[in-house]
Amino acid sequence: MNEFSEFQSRLQRPLDVKLSDFQRNERLKHLIFAAQLTPALLEKLRKMADMIRQLSRTRDGNLRLKHMLAHRRAMLYFTQPSTRTFLSFMAACQILGITCNEVRDPSTSSEVKRESKVDSIRMFSSYFDIIIMRTSNPIFSECCAYLMNELESADQRSVPIINAGAGAEEHPTQALLDMYTILRTFSHDYSRESKQSKFIEIQKQYPDLSPGPGNKTYLFCGDMGRGRTVRSLATVLSQYDNVRMFFVAPDYAELAMDRGLLRRYRDRGVDVHEFHSLDATFDGRPILALTDCLYMTRIQREHNSDKAEKDLAALDLSPFQFTPLRATVLKSYAPIMHPFPRDSVTNEIPTEIDSDSRAMYFRQARNGMWIRAALLVHLFDAAEELIDIYGEVRR
């Protein structure tokens, strides 16, 4: 941690105080924390992602997109395992014509010659126009953003930093694609694409169901302690009105949701409850029957201590498996989400569920490509150009 000591005083500030360091007026300068994803920004990014998605359906639209950011280069610095986040960022760059380069194994970079991580990142910023990074160190991307801000203040070259997963703490771009999926599910806006909006059909059956992420019950299941995707998504959802969250995890301290975060959500008015089985009940009804959106996760074994490894091996994980029988209890419209990868041994979502019309996880992953492309357009301040291209191609 020593090499980050110069950032210590900034790192220790409360989150709310830090956020303005990563903004340029209304626009993001860097994306480091899920708390930066406000409802207004999400709405803006959702519209842009929908435009990119529609433009990419035609050859003309594709070619126009490909020219948009063809003068930009991205560095994908991913020293922690990744399939979806890495590939979807790469695909997003390709959609927009951004050239991608990668470092996935620090042993192939000068870090083996004892170059500090901070120096490596500053070097990347000399050659590339944006740095997208995933590391096991939870503070690394935040420190890189401070470094870029310092360079900018000194009138030197500075580029945006995107946190693509930081230790067990934050995964803001996963929250972004999860929110895009949730916004699309609970919206009237998609009638043009599918002739009839699915949400209108749902509302006929459930007239009380309102559009948007508010007024809903979210059930998170699996590893609530070390799952950064859950923390990031719950943090974003806690901004909406009348949200209820059920956290379902084994009765084991390391797998429980962070107490501080739960307090923060409660302070914001979220109705928060914890359970130790998917079959649990609340107010006399099965929690699955009350759920508007299900978010399954795997147990993050790579974070296990030796003791946890032994303890967890002895644990019965079947109460945390979304079996076909449990699927019959879930509301008929509730999307079944999962950030993936799913664990093929524990089977928190057995493959039989894949054919369920509510299974959203593959579409959710594809949504990641569109919304990450929208994020890149936003960070490069090219939103107006996108709107112009959309207008011209659709005319």
Contacting positions for ligand NCD (CB under 6 A): 84-85, 165, 171, 174, 228-229, 298, 300, 339-340
* Smallest distance from ligand NCD to CB 168, Å: 8
* Smallest distance from ligand NCD to CB 228, Å: 5
Which residue, among 245, 240, 244, 238, has the nearest Cα to 267 in the 3D structure?
Answer: 238
Task: Give SS3 for 374.
Answer: helix
Preceding peptide of 286 cis, ω within 30°: no
Cβ-based nearer residue to ligand NCD, 213 or 339: 339
Distance CA 214, CA 349 (A): 26
Cβ-based nearer residue to ligand NCD, 18 or 338: 338
Distance CA 318, CA 304 (A): 19
Distance CA 395, CA 84 (A): 34
* Smallest distance from ligand NCD to CB 222, Å: 9
Q: Which residues contact 394 (CB under 8 A, 6 or more apart)?
A: 54
* Smallest distance from ligand NCD to CB 165, Å: 5
* Smallest distance from ligand NCD to CB 85, Å: 4
Cβ-based nearer residue to ligand NCD, 298 or 331: 298
Which residue, among 110, 170, 114, 117, has the nearest Cα to 7 in the 3D structure?
Answer: 117
Task: Give SS3 for 165.
Answer: strand
Cβ-based nearer residue to ligand NCD, 213 or 227: 227
Which residue has its beta carbon closest to ligand NCD?
A: 339
Q: Which residues contact 306 (CB under 8 A, 6 or more apart)?
A: none
Cβ-based nearer residue to ligand NCD, 36 or 229: 229
* Smallest distance from ligand NCD to CB 369, Å: 12
> In terms of DSSP bridges, do strands 73-78 and 99-103 run parallel, antiparallel, or are they unpaired?
parallel
Cβ-based nearer residue to ligand NCD, 148 or 374: 374
Lookup: tokens for 318: 């079947």
* Smallest distance from ligand NCD to CB 3, Å: 24
Cβ-based nearer residue to ligand NCD, 333 or 340: 340
Cβ-based nearer residue to ligand NCD, 66 or 104: 104
Cβ-based nearer residue to ligand NCD, 61 or 339: 339
Q: Which amino acid is at 328?
A: T
* Smallest distance from ligand NCD to CB 229, Å: 5
* Smallest distance from ligand NCD to CB 144, Å: 19
Query: What's the distance, Cα to Cα, between the start and end of the chain in Å?
Result: 54
The length of the chain, given as a count of residues: 395
Q: Which residues contact 244 (CB under 8 A, 6 or more apart)?
A: 216, 217, 218, 270, 271, 272, 273, 290
* Smallest distance from ligand NCD to CB 106, Å: 18
Q: Which residues contact 89 (CB under 8 A, 6 or more apart)?
A: 74, 76, 100, 132, 162, 164, 173, 372
Cβ-based nearer residue to ligand NCD, 68 or 336: 336
Which residue, among 107, 48, 33, 101, has the nearest Cα to 372 in the 3D structure?
Answer: 48
Say if CB 196 and CB 187 are below 8 A apart.
no
Preceding peptide of 213 cis, ω within 30°: no
